Amino acid sequence: MKHRLAGPAIAPAPLDKGLSTVQLVDNYFLAYNAARLREACQLWARRMAAPEVTVGLTLTGALTPAGLGPSCLVPLVRRGLVDFIVSTGANLYHDAHFALGLSLHRSSPFADDTALREKGLVRIYDIVMDYTVLLKTDSFFREMMQAPEFQRPLGSAEFHYLAGKYLAERQRILGGGDASLLAACFDMEVPVYAASPGDSSIGMNAAALALEGSAFAWDVNRDVNETAGLVLMAKRGGGKTGVAILGGGAPKNFMLQTEPHIQEVLGIDEKGHDYFLQITDARPDTGGLSGATPSEAVSWGKVDPEGLPGTVVCYTDSTIALPIITSYLTEAVGSREPKRLYARRDEALELLRKEAKS
């Protein structure tokens, strides 16, 4: 059949042993959301992984408790494939367990929660941990936040950079390997932002210290300006920007609002992100942001309309998609030169300030 709307024939060979991830995805993920996952892998590998593209990654849902930090996120950061991150605070709090040598365990989603409570166990769907894991992690963050470098307002990127330094040292002492995302981001100078820093156990511990007179406070205005500045700096440097969104929620909006902040609020001439990749299980018809499509984002200026061919939405679970994407990128791309944007945050902020005044 010859038609401009028809692609290659669906005629896969029988599956056999010894296939690489790239062979499996490219040759056997042929239709439905398997095809969208193939397109997501190829978009990131062939376009977003280009040296001139600044890649922002968002994390929503309990990904780090499921072990996706050391297995997937740390390798992506170490290989220079992620340039900055916007996460829920919960993912960063649970990431700390791994650096602190505190264990989480596989369980069942059908466990008796009353019995778990009586035994001092906490459940995240089919993951359980001892209640003391929370108490020990709380204690770590409270002790850390009383150090002199925290006695002032901080943007969440600086807070997580300092936390990554402490976690990297704790990880080194305990000999726990390369297990912590925040520790890896500290080492690779990848800025990590929390979209809602008060909405997590880290935020609760900060609030508890405020009751005792701590001078620490979240500088959320800096976060908004800083992330927009990183995007603007990439564009003004002749590059492009791509967003990889795992889930949705506040991190998705925080990542995408960089462009409306640049265009709508600050009045700076810009077009939107060039590439958009989302893994989600949310539907668009309920009106929630988590399910909002890239074409809807165009209407807000979040995505460049000319970039719509470079957008993919795959409707599946991030815990399924992320290991496949990571394995695909490791094989197809390997590594690229890290941008180390943490050290350039003030430069990005100054550029934003300068263009907002012009």
164-202: per-residue pLDDT in tens?
999 999 999 999 899 999 999 999 999 999 999 999 999
Token readout for 301 is: 């200026």
Q: Which percentage of the chain shows pLDDT scores above 90?
A: 87
Pinpoint the alpha helices (H) of the chain.
21-28, 32-43, 68, 74-78, 89-99, 113-118, 131-145, 156-174, 181-188, 201-211, 220-236, 249-256, 258-260, 294-299, 318-332, 345-357
- Mode of pairing for the β-strands spanning 127-130 and 105-106: antiparallel
CA neighbours closer than 13 Å in the CB half-sphere of residue 303: 25
So what's the pLDDT on residue 91?
98
Q: Which of 2, 302, 339, 354 is catalytic?
A: 302
Check if the beta carbon of residue 189 is closer than 8 Å to that of residue 157: no
Which three-class secondary structure state does DSSP give residue 83? coil
pLDDT tens string 47-71: 999 999 999 999 999 999 999 999 9
Q: Which percentage of the chain shows pLDDT scores above 70?
A: 98
Mean pLDDT to the nearest integer, 333-353: 98
- Torsion on CA atoms 180, 233, 267, 308, rounded to nearest 10: -70
Q: Which CATH superfamily is domain 21-357 in?
A: Deoxyhypusine synthase (3.40.910.10)
pLDDT confidence band for 162 (50 / 70 / 90): very high
What secondary structure letter does DSSP report for 273? Answer: B
Cβ within 8 Å of residue 143, ≥6 positions away: none
Q: How far apart are CA 84 and CA 190, in angstroms?
A: 5
For the chain, the structural domain boundaries read 21-357
So what's the pLDDT on residue 7?
80
pLDDT confidence band for 303 (50 / 70 / 90): confident
So what's the pLDDT on residue 6?
73
Q: Quick check: is 235 catalytic?
A: no
Question: Tell me, what amino acid is at 326?
Answer: T
Q: How far apart are CA 118 and CA 341, in angstroms?
A: 46
Which three-class secondary structure state does DSSP give residue 144? helix
Residue 327 predicted with pLDDT over 70 = yes
So what's the pLDDT on residue 3?
63
pTM for the model stands at 0.95
pLDDT tens string 113-133: 999 999 999 999 999 999 999
So what's the pLDDT on residue 289?
66
Q: How far apart are CA 188 and CA 196, in angstroms?
A: 23
Q: How far apart are CA 124 and CA 16, in angstroms?
A: 36
Token readout for 282 is: 């949310």
